[in-house]
Amino acid sequence: MTESFANSTLNPVLCQAAHGVDVPEDPWPGFARRERRHRRTRLIRAAVAAAVVAALVGVQANVVPLPGWVPGIAVAAAPTALLDAPPRGALAGDQAWLDTLRARISTDPRLSTDTPLGGWDPGGMWKAGDRDRIRLLYGSDQPGRRVALVAVPLRFGLLTKEALVWYVGPAGAGAQQMRYAGHSEDARDPVMTLMQAGPDGRGFAVVVGPAESTVMISGDPRYTPTGTLEYQDLARADGSGVGFAVLSPAPLRNEPVVRVSRGGQVLYQGGLGGGPYAGIDPTWPEMDVLLTAARRGALGTPLEDANLRNFVESALLDSRLPAARTTVRVRWSGSEHGQAAALLTVQPAGGGVIAYAMHGDDRTGWWTDLRLLLPAEGADQRPIGWRIRTDNGTRTPTGQVRVIAPPNAARVTVTVGGAPPATVALDASNAGTTRIPPDQPATLTAYSADGGVLGTTPLPPVEADMSGLPGDSPATRVNP
């Protein structure tokens, strides 16, 4: 009775409470829907990424053409000093000729079937870019030649660069007759040079520098008896930035030198490649005679024949002097850093004297420690000194100075700044060393046994750039 009453009383209450409880729905269907949506999104993104990658690969491989308006990533820049200059030469105003040349370059950058551009892949990795961006920097007719320097934009997919390209043809040549003659993609030098020499007697050299620069093309040097350097001028152009020289059909004795300057500043100086040159032949009879005479009166440890020949050949090549009619004397020979070392002088007939200090061997190579142009008068009575450099690869100048006295000197003094002269201790070979702070100038003076002055020579500053000839810079000459 009691149990029946309880059931009848609690059931409605429990049912009502149960209906009031919030039971969550099954989460699986919602999870499944969201997962399907995420999966579709990931698949779409992967497909888009794959398509983009494929397109980029195609563009970079030059399979998929890239619109000209799409910017590229520059990997190299041509010399801006030339690119920023206005077109120069008579061909600058010949628009029809230039348009034809542009069309040829844009379709076939080699400009011939048998002479591909040296640095450009003949298979077509780099393609000529927008035809309208091909620009003439210089173009003119010279004796027997038509010469053009053209800036050509190149593209390899998203990568871009600009090359400066020489084209050459006969005088008055149409664009179809022009042929590739050389190119550069180096942005460091603001000068472009071209030299062609051959047995046909129509050799020439052309140099294009920045606008308003002075270009000089020089032949054989002349070391004057007063200790100065002069050049044989093959061509000079003041203010135009372009120099042209007609070369002799005979082989050149030496490589011509190009010098480009503006406002007293040298922008470029270097050899003009293209040969052929007579050069130095170590087998010539003149070399054997020269080497035999070079040993006479030498002080110090005698050099081995191979070392002497290497030193002399290096000096002749550096000074651009022939073995014939040139006198070489070994002033001193010994060792430096455990290698053969020597001080020798080179003098062309009737010219000044160039002092060379060298050391080295076949194992480690050969080093030039000093190049100094001296007046011919009294050259053999001068003390000569040079700073010893470190032997750790950096060749940093030290405070240690090697001094070589003339043969008849009783003593040598060194004067540093305003300090009183100090005597340099000499050995039996008339060689000695002294210490001079690297940033201090000094003067060496040699005295005879009776106390008279034999000669005085300043200690030259260390030559940082040996690209020029002895006497080209204040560091390589005694006279201003």
For 11-66, what is each residue's pLDDT tens digit? 665 556 555 555 555 566 666 666 777 777 767 666 655 554 555 444 444 444 55
Q: Considering the domain boundaries, does residue 28 fall inside one? A: no
Q: At what angle do helices 305-319 and 285-294 cross, to 10 degrees?
A: 110
Q: Considering the domain boundaries, does residue 23 fall inside one? A: no
Q: Using pLDDT thresholds of 50, 70 and 90, give the confidence band for residue 379.
A: very high
> Which pLDDT does position 123 carry in this prediction?
40
Q: Tell me the residue range of the domain where 54 lies.
A: 34-65
Does position 435 have pLDDT exceeding 80, yes or no? Answer: yes
Same domain for 143 and 52? no
- Maximum Cα–Cα distance for the chain, whole Å? 156
Q: Name the residue with higher pLDDT: 473 or 395.
A: 473
Comparing 72-81, 95-104, 163-172, the range with the smallest average pLDDT is 72-81
Taking residues 260-285, report their average pLDDT.
Answer: 73
> Which pLDDT does position 11 carry in this prediction?
61
Q: Considering the domain boundaries, does residue 17 fall inside one? A: no
Same domain for 292 and 155? no
Same domain for 171 and 147? yes
- Please write down the long-range contacts of 324-330, taking CB distance under 8 Å and 24 or more positions apart: 324/284, 324/286, 325/349, 326/290, 327/290, 327/293, 328/290, 328/291, 328/293, 328/294, 329/293, 329/294, 329/296, 329/297, 329/298, 329/380, 330/294, 330/295, 330/298, 330/303
Comparing 66-80, 171-185, 452-466, the range with the smallest average pLDDT is 66-80
Does position 258 have pLDDT exceeding 80, yes or no? Answer: yes
Name the domain boundary from 223, 249, 271.
Answer: 271
Q: Considering the domain boundaries, does residue 463 fall inside one? A: yes
| 350 Cβ neighbours under 8 A, 6+ residues apart | 225
Q: Considering the domain boundaries, does residue 70 fall inside one? A: no
Q: Residue 197 in contact with residue 144, Cβ under 8 Å?
A: no
Classify 349 as helix, strand or coil: coil
User: Token match 């010399």: residue?
Assistant: 79
Same domain for 395 and 334? yes
Same domain for 392 and 346? yes
Q: How far is CA 157 from CA 50, 116, 122, 131, 160, in A?
A: 18, 21, 16, 16, 8
Same domain for 331 and 235? no
> Which pLDDT does position 56 carry in this prediction?
46
Name the domain boundary from 271, 297, 325.
Answer: 271
For 417-427, what is each residue's pLDDT tens digit? 889 999 999 99
| 52 Cβ neighbours under 8 A, 6+ residues apart | none
> Which pLDDT does position 10 carry in this prediction?
54
Does position 112 have pLDDT exceeding 50, yes or no? Answer: no
Q: Using pLDDT thresholds of 50, 70 and 90, give the confidence band for residue 293.
A: very high
Q: Name the residue with higher pLDDT: 30 or 392.
A: 392
Same domain for 214 and 313? no
Q: Considering the domain boundaries, does residue 315 fall inside one? A: yes
Same domain for 56 and 179? no
Does position 120 have pLDDT exceeding 60, yes or no? Answer: no
pLDDT more than 90, % of the chain? 41
Same domain for 85 and 58? no
For 154-165, what is each residue's pLDDT tens digit? 776 667 677 888
Same domain for 179 and 313? no
Q: Rounded CA gap, 167 and 169, in Å?
A: 7
Q: Considering the domain boundaries, does residue 177 fall inside one? A: yes
> Which pLDDT does position 95 carry in this prediction?
93
Q: Considering its fold, how many domains does the chain have in total?
A: 3
> Which pLDDT does position 322 carry in this prediction?
85
Name the domain boundary from 220, 243, 271.
Answer: 271
> Which pLDDT does position 143 carry in this prediction?
81
Same domain for 84 and 38? no
Nearest of 94, 201, 84 to residue 137 by alpha carbon = 84
For 163-221, what is each residue's pLDDT tens digit? 888 999 998 999 989 988 888 766 456 889 998 875 556 688 899 999 889 999 988 88
> Which pLDDT does position 28 carry in this prediction?
64
Classify 105 as helix, strand or coil: helix
Q: Considering the domain boundaries, does residue 338 fall inside one? A: yes
Same domain for 255 and 112? yes
> Which pLDDT does position 172 carry in this prediction?
92
Does position 92 have pLDDT exceeding 70, yes or no? Answer: yes
Radius of gyration, alpha carbons of the chain: 38
